[in-house]
Chain A
Amino acid sequence: MEREKSPMRITVMMFIGGILILLNALLFASNGGAIIWSSSAIQPQNLTGAKQPLWWRLGFGYRGLANFTTLMILLVAAVVIVFSAIAFFMKPRYNKMLGISTIICGIISLVSGGGFIIGMILAVGSGLLALEFPKKAEETFFGRIYRAARFDSSVFKSVGDDPTISKQAVLTLMFVNLLSGIGIGLYAYNSSIMVNNPNTLLQRILLFGEMRFDATIFTPPIVFMGIAIIKWVILTGLLYIAALSLGVKTGGEKIGRVVAFAYAPIALQFFIPFVFTSDAYLNLWPSIVFIVTNVWVAIILMVGLKQIMEIGFPKAFGIVTSAGSAYYLINYFMFIKPETAIRISRTISLLIYPEEYMLLGIFAILAFGVLIGAFTKK
């Protein structure tokens, strides 16, 4: 096992995360509520109606929680993270305790906006890295997810070759879908509230950063984690069949591990509820996030399969697009199309309508594959 030489990298991440969380908490405290950045100043009556131009806002923090007790907890959480950074540098042997405290405090900071999101990512990331210290950061759970997300092909070499990583792959899948489910659940719940209360709650959510939630928002994370396994098996199977039919021999287990790590960008769907738009455009923002994250996953898959199968880019493209198209159609009929899908409450999905457009898109991608020679057996 390669060892991390110094705790400095993790310390810096923790420290910056803690300072950002502290600044965010102080701003949240002096603001007395959510920090709202919007595309423009708007009158409440202009928030509804199909003819209104697009308006969006980015909100940090939950307004109803700006009370003394919560603020004290937030300040203590920020101080604990900064303290953990310094203590970790001085006493790295307390890595488990300091890592866990940083992760917990990073999650708590979400109440005030998570250190403008970046602070929370740094805190949770550095906490996860600290837990596995002195293992080299690149070989840790968080390190692998991060490397996969930025198309680092070398990570797939180790992921493909090392069967002991299977457990980490399943954990990644669960973790990513948990985050995605929370984000989608919150967005879906608040969107439906806005649509049903256009004269009261819509203004409060959009203009003042109110966020509503009840027990039902936990449905998507739980269901998503369960479905993730089914989707994972289906996609792995389809990729395996596509690879075999294109004359590439490889192990299904290898592909499975790569697929699990390729799901990493889906975790970004957690941040969907930070942005809301005027009611006519409520579908726009999650659609953008869905498209970006799924295209991202497809590219990671191409990079990963290219690495483990030792094939060229056109063939990797062919395998991913043919298997991906079949996977999308199965996913569409099982979980998206209103008439045939399994009903899951408090969720949103990308519905391309009319269906002809969806088929046209699939055809265009596959035609491009034919042009670049992706489907030849040579």
Chain B
Amino acid sequence: MYIKKKWVPAIVFVSIALICGFLSIFLPWWSVGTSPEAEVLTNVGVRTEYRLLKTVLLYKRTGNDVFSLYLYLNMVNVTSNQDIFNEIYSVFDMTMWLQVSGIVVGAVVFVLAIVIDRKKLKTLWVIGMLISATLVLAAPLYFMYNFVPSISKLDQFTPVTLPEEYIPIKPANVSTFFGNMTIPKASTYPSWAQGQPFWIWGATSGFFLALTASFMLFASTVIVNFALTERRKFALS
């Protein structure tokens, strides 16, 4: 009973890490949308979110948070150009592969750590967790360096008509993973908005959750080590 109690914190910690990694698959990894300034100025907000499951969520909402458009698209509908599609598809495929394999390795290693009662496997378990954490970390890093070059080749982010007062944006304008497009200083917009972002793009919840999962998996190697040390001490006593 004592051993089990000592294992509970480790189980909780690694479970949270694995749940974070798992959830990140379903959440958006990158988005491009209007800034809060643009939404106040035009009373309309637009956002396009890209997910690992090769889907794109597009929504448009008014100032009162009423959604005038809420559209789930498959990546196939984003472009008709097969080469660009293949390139984007491969980035998502590779990221997904890294992420899922990291979670699976972590889950298997952790189940082994609980089920198999052998002290000598400790090193193997710690190495297993490190591999899992590295794979989960590699997924967002790979995505970060390969997504923008492929997405910038698209003709448009949003297959919808944008309000006329919007500052136009083209995927070619996006050259970095995080960034924004500002309202020109000499524009008709009020002075408080000039120089402030109109469009903002960058990583979002899924991407950050994947990074969190990897940090937690790295930290879990220490936790697993703690739990095993306690177990050995108990066995010796």
Contacts and interface: CB of A to CB of B under 8 A. Distances in A.
Interface of A: 11, 22, 25-26, 29-30, 32-33, 36, 41, 43-44, 67-68, 71-72, 75-76, 78-80, 82-83, 86-87, 89-91, 199-204, 207-208
A86 B12 contact: yes
Contacts, number: 88
B interface residue count range (under 10 / 10 to 19 / 20 to 34 / 35 or more): 35 or more
B98 interface: no
A30 B223 CA distance: 29
Nearest to A29: B208
Contacts of A87: 222-223, 226
B151 interface: no
B227 A208 contact: no
Ranked nearest first, the 10 interchain pairs of A and B with the lowest CB-CB distance are A203-B192, A30-B205, A86-B9, A30-B204, A79-B215, A83-B219, A90-B226, A29-B208, A200-B192, A86-B13
Given A26-B209, A87-B226, A208-B37, A67 B178 contact: yes
Contacts of B149: none
Contacts of B216: 79, 82-83
A208 to B, nearest CB: 5
Given A33-B36, A90-B9, A22 B212 contact: yes
A36 B219 CA distance: 32
Given A26-B212, A75-B212, A78-B212, A83 B190 contact: no
A212 B217 CA distance: 37
Contacts of A75: 208, 211-212, 215
Nearest to B180: A32
Nearest to B20: A22
B208 A26 contact: yes
A67 B40 CA distance: 22
Contacts of A44: 40, 190, 192
Interface of B: 6, 9-10, 12-13, 16, 28, 31, 35-37, 40, 63-64, 177-178, 190-193, 196, 200, 202-205, 208-209, 211-212, 215-216, 219, 222-223, 226-227, 230
Nearest to B33: A32
A90 B208 contact: no
| Interface-centre pick from A32, A82, A204 (highest chain B CB count, 10 A) | A32
B226 A91 contact: yes
A137 B31 CA distance: 46
A101 to B, nearest CB: 12
Nearest to A91: B226
B219 A79 contact: yes
Contacts of B36: 33, 36, 207-208
A90 B191 CA distance: 56
Contacts of A79: 212, 215-216, 219
B192 A83 contact: no
A29 to B, nearest CB: 5
A72 B227 contact: no
B175 to A, nearest CB: 15
A26 B20 CA distance: 11
Given A75-B212, A86-B9, A200 B178 contact: no
Nearest to B194: A200
B37 A86 contact: no
B64 to A, nearest CB: 6
A200 B36 CA distance: 15
Contacts of A29: 203-205, 208
Nearest to A74: B208
Contacts of B202: 32, 68
Contacts of A208: 36-37, 196
Contacts of B64: 41
Contact of A202 (B9, B192, B205, B208): B192
